[in-house]
Amino acid sequence: MAIQVETNQFSAQVLAHLHPASLKCYPTLASDVALVCGDGAPWALSAFTEIVPASTIASNFDIIGIVISGAAQDQYELVLYYGASDTEFGRVRFAAGAAGTHVGFIPFESPMIAANSKIRAKLAGLAGVDESGCGISVVYHIHS
Tally Cβ neighbours within 10 Å of residue 125. 29
How far apart CA 132 and CA 129 sit, in angstroms, is 6
- Domain range list for the chain: 5-143
Tens of pLDDT, residue by residue over 29-64, are 999 999 988 777 889 899 999 999 999 999 999 999
Non-local (6+) Cβ contacts of 72 within 8 A are: 96, 99, 100, 129, 131, 132, 133, 134
How far apart CA 5 and CA 25 sit, in angstroms, is 19
Beta strands of 70-132 (E only): which ranges?
74-82, 87-96, 104-107, 119-125
Domain 5-143, what fold? Jelly Rolls (2.60.120)
Which one, of 1, 64, 77, lies nearest residue 35 by Cα? 77
How far apart CA 84 and CA 89 sit, in angstroms, is 13
What separation in angstroms does the CA of 56 have from each of 4, 42, 108? 31, 33, 20
When pLDDT is cut at 50, 70 and 90, the band that residue 101 belongs to is low
Question: 0.85 cut: is pTM over it?
Answer: no
Tens of pLDDT, residue by residue over 14-30, are 555 455 668 899 999 99
